[in-house]
Structure 1
C-alpha cells in the first residue's frame, strides 16, 4: 500500500464496520474487548494514524487540557509538579490529547485564565494543582460548567471522600506511616515529625500517618515534644532541628526524624551533621532529585500513577475525549499509595 492507510482499510482488515473502528478510536469503552483488541491489532499492523485535526473539527473539541504552572512552587519541592506535568503530558499525548500550559500569579488571575480559555474554546478541561482550604477555583469551574480534575483533595470540605469533585491525590498518611514503621523496624523508638505550620491539608495528612503509628507504638502516650514544625525552607528546618537537639538530655532521646518534605529533610540533615549526630536517620517526602543525589531516604509519590488516575477521571480508562462529570460519579476519586525509597545518605 503506497498511500497511508485509512479507517476503511482498518475496518476491512479487521472485519468490522467503519463506525466500530471510530468507536475503538474515540469511545473504546463501549466496544467489546475482543473486537477492540482485534481492531487495535490491525491499527498497529497497518500503521494507521487517525486524523486528529479532522476529529477536532468534527467533534468541536480541542482535545486539549489546560494546566497552570504554579508560581508558588519553588525550590526542592517544585520538582514534584515538574515531574507530574511531564508524566501527564506524556500519557495525554499517547491518547491523542494535548496539554496547554499557562501561567497565573494567584487564584484570581487563574480564574481569569479559565474564562479566557473557555470563551475561546481552547481547552476541553482543566487540571488544577496546589489545592487548599477555601480554594475558589473549583467552585468557579463548577458554576461555569467546566470539566476539571484536581491533583489534591478538596481540603476544607466536610466530607472529602464524598465530594462530587473529581480529584486524584497521594495518600500522605500512608507514606509517613510507612516511614515510621521502617524506622521502628530498625530499632528506633523516639521518632520526631518535622512538618509545616497549620493550616495545611497536605501537611496534616502527612502528620496523621506519623501520629497514628507513634500513638500505637507508645500505647497512646504523649507526642507533643516530638512534633516539630516550621516553614518549608532548608534554613528554617536546620535552625529548628538544631534548637531541638540542644534540648536533648542525651543519647536515645532521638532515634529518627520523619519529614513532610525533602526540603525539611535536607535542613534536618544539615543540623544533625553539624552536631555530629550523623547516625540518626532522616526520611523525607517527595523523592526529589536532591534526595536522590544525597542518598536521603524519601517517599516517592508515584507520579506516573497520579497522571494515569488524572486522565482516567477525565477521559475514562482508554478514551481520548473528555467525559462529563455525571459519567464519573461512581468513580470520582483516586488515592495513590506512595512508596518508601530507602537509601543510605551521603555526607552533606
Structure 2
C-alpha cells in the first residue's frame, strides 16, 4: 500500500485514522491506491494496536411478561443498529442478578472484551453503577440512578425518558376532554420509574380534577405488573363509584384495565407496545431511537453536545432527559 502510493507506512496510517493531518494531494494518492488495491483495514490488528475492542457490552434482559418487556427489545435493536453505524459492535451477555452482572463486568474488562457498557433496568441504590465508577469503567445507563447520590456525578452518564412529564401530559389531556375521575394504576413504591410516572398523574390531578387528596388516594393503585391483578383492581374501582379514565404505568397494566372498563372509559398505557396498537388503547411512547443515539453519544463522545430536540431543559452535559409523547387511539 505505502509503496504503491509512494509514501511511508505512517502516512497511510494517518490517512486511515487522522486524514486531516495529511496534505490533500498526498491523501488523494493514498486514497487512490486504497481504491485500486481494494484494501480493507484489518479490524483485529487495529484493536490490538489501539487496545480498543470497538465493542460495547449490553445485558440481554430476561423476558418478563412479553408485553412491557418489548420496550427493551426495541431499545436493543436501536442501539445495535446505531453502534454499527459508528463502527462498534454489541456484545450481549446475561446475568441472573446485580451481583452476577458485576461478575460479568469483571470478566469482560479483564479480558479487554469491551470498551464500555450500556446498562438498562436501573433501580434504587443500584450496586452496578457504584462498582463501575469505582473500577473506572466507561458506561452509560438507560435510566436515572434512582436513590443514589450520583445523579449529578459526571462519572455517571445517563439517559432517561421523562415519565413524569409523559403521564402528566396524558392526564391533562383527559382532564381537558372532561374526565374527572381518572385512576392511576402503577407499580409498588420501590420502583423509581413507577414513582416518577405516579407523580405526573398526581400533579396533573391535583391541579385540574377538583378532587380532594383523599379521593385521589382512593384512585391510586399500587400493583404488580400483571394483567389479571390490574383487571381485578380496576373492576373494584368501577364497582366502588365509577371511572372516567384509567392511566397506567405500563401497557401490561393497561391491558388488564381495558378488559374490564366499559366503552365510555378511556385507558392510557405506557410504552406503546404492539399490544396497545393491536387492541386500540392509547399509550405513552418512549423515543427509543433518541435514547439509543444519546446513550452512544454520551458513552463514545463523552458529552451530550448540548440540548437536542425533545430533551427536557436543565439536564447536565453528561445527562439527557428526553420527553415522550402520547399516541392517542
TM-score range, shorter chain: 0.7 to 0.9
Cα deviation 1:203-232 (Å, max 9, x = unaligned): 001011111111111468322122112110
| SS of equivalent to 2:122 | coil
1:338 and 2:324 equivalent? yes
Aligned pairs (5 A) from 1:76-87: 76-87=67-78
Aligned residue pairs: how many?
Answer: 301
1:89 equivalent in alignment to 2:74: no
Of the candidates 85, 90, 97, which is equivalent to residue 99 of structure 1? 90
Tell me, in whole angstroms, the C-alpha distance in 1 between the residues paired with 2:316 and 2:255. Answer: 41
User: Is structure 2 residue 277 aligned with structure 1 residue 286?
Assistant: no
Check the 8 A contact 2:117/2:140 in 1, yes or no: yes
Q: Is the 8 A contact 1:52 1:96 kept in 2?
A: no
For 1:159 and 1:219, the matched residues in 2 are separated by 38
2:219 is matched with 226
| Structure 2 residue 120 is the aligned partner of structure 1 residue 129 | yes
Structure 1 18/146 Cα, relative in aligned 2: closer, same or farther at 3 Å?
closer
Q: Is 1:309 matched with 2:288?
A: no
Q: 1:152 to 1:49 in 2, by over 3 A?
A: farther
Instruction: Measure how far apart 1:50 and its partner are.
Output: 5.1
SS of 2:121 mapped into structure 1: coil
Q: Residues 206, 242 of structure 1: CA spacing in aligned structure 2 closer, same or farther, 3 A cutoff?
A: same
Decide which of 185, 197, 222 is 1:206's aligned counterpart: 197
Q: 1:217 to 1:330 in 2, by over 3 A?
A: closer
The answer for unaligned runs of 5 or more in structure 1 is 25-30, 319-328, 344-348
- Distance in structure 1 (CA, Å) of the matches to 2:41 and 2:49: 13
Q: Structure 2: any 5+ residue segments left out of the alignment?
A: 304-314
Change (3 A) 1:317 1:308: farther
TM-score (norm 1): 0.79
1: CA distance between counterparts of 2:101 and 2:82?
Answer: 24
- Higher RCO (CA 8 Å, separation ≥ 6 residues): 1
Among 247, 254, 261, the residue aligned to 2:250: 261
**In structure 2, C-alpha distance between the alignment counterparts of 1:211 and 1:262, rounded to whole Å:** 19
> TM-score, normalised to structure 2's length?
0.83
1:234–1:266 CA contact under 8 A, matched in 2: yes
Partner of 2:18: 23
In the alignment, what sits opposite 1:186?
177
Instruction: Extract structure 1 runs of 4+ deviating beyond 6 A.
Output: 46-49
The SS at the match of 1:247 is helix
Structural RMSD (CA): 3.0
